[in-house]
Amino acid sequence: MSAQMVLAALFPPSEKLRWSDELLWLPIPVSYKSDAEEDDDMNYTLPNWTKQVYPEQTENAASYMYGYHNYELEVKKINSGYLLKKILDDGTSKIKNAESEKKLYLYSGHESTVGYMMDALGIAEQRVPPYGCALSFELWKLDNEYYIRLRYRNDPEATVPVDLKIPGCDVMCPHDTFTQLLSDVIPTIPITEACNASYE
C-alpha cells in the first residue's frame, strides 16, 4: 500500500480524468510482471530449456543476490544500516515524545531495498521480494513497554501481512532488544564518510 499511497499523492487526477467528485484518486498500477512471466501468462511458447530453470531455480538464484551484495558488514551498513538507523531513530523519537502527532513514517524503495533490509535483519527469503511488497516496522506500547513488530506483505493481493521474527527475538520484540540485536548493522559514521572509506 505504501507505493500506492505515494502515487495517489503525486498524481491526483486532472479534471478530464476525474471519475468521482468524492474521491480524487487516479488508479496507477504498481505491480507488474517480467517479460517471461507475461509471455507465459499469454500462452506464448517458452523455449524448452526454460522448463529446467524457470521460474523456481531462476527465482531462487536471484534471491541470493542480497546476501552476496551484503557479504561485508560495512557494505550491509551502507545497503540497509542507514535506513534501519533512521527507522529506529524515528521510533525512539516517538517513544520520547509520545504526544507527537506523527503516526506514520513512510519510506518507498525498490524490491532491492526490501531484499537488502531483510538480509540485514537475518530474515531473507529464498526469492526476490515481489513488486508492491511492504516491510513494516510497527512501534507498539504494551504495559508501559515499547515493542517492535515486524510485518511483511509479500503479495500485493494479500490483505493481511505476515508477522516476522528476527533471530533472537519474538514477534513482539522489545525496542531495546531489537536495537541491541541489530547494533552491528547500525552505522556510527556519516554515509558520505562510509561510502568514501577504504576497506581492506
Instruction: Determine what percent of the chain is predicted with pLDDT higher than 70.
Output: 94
Task: Give the pLDDT of residue 199.
Answer: 62
Q: Are 180 and 60 in contact (CB under 8 A)?
A: no
Of 5 and 68, which is predicted with more confidence? 68
Task: Give the pLDDT of residue 110.
Answer: 86
Dist CA 136 CA 2 (whole Å):
10
User: Side chain identity at 13, as an amino acid letter?
Assistant: P
Task: Give the pLDDT of residue 200.
Answer: 61
- For the cut 80, the answer to whether the pLDDT of residue 197 exceeds it is no
Q: How many helices (H) and strands (E) does the chain have?
A: 8, 4
What is the DSSP track for 26-93?
A: ---------HHHHHHHTTPPPPGGGGGTTTHHHHHHHHHHHHHHT-SHHHHIIIIIHHHHHHHHHHHH
For 137, the enclosing helix (H) or strand (E) is strand 134-142
Q: Tell me the pLDDT tens digit for each residue of 50-75.
A: 888 888 888 888 888 888 888 899 99
DSSP secondary-structure letter at 16? G
CB-based burial, 25-60: b 16+ in 10 Å, e otherwise: beeeeeeeeeeeeeebeeeeeeeeeeeeebeeeeee
Cell of 194: 562510509
For 119, the enclosing helix (H) or strand (E) is helix 111-121
Report residue 183's pLDDT band, with 50, 70 and 90 as the boundaries: very high
The torsion of the CA quartet 187, 192, 195, 196, rounded to 10 degrees, works out to -130
Cell 526454460 locates to: 50
Q: Are 147 and 175 in contact (CB under 8 A)?
A: yes
For the chain, how big is the Rg over CA atoms in Å? Answer: 20
- For the cut 80, the answer to whether the pLDDT of residue 156 exceeds it is no
Cell of 40: 507465459
Cell 479534471 locates to: 15
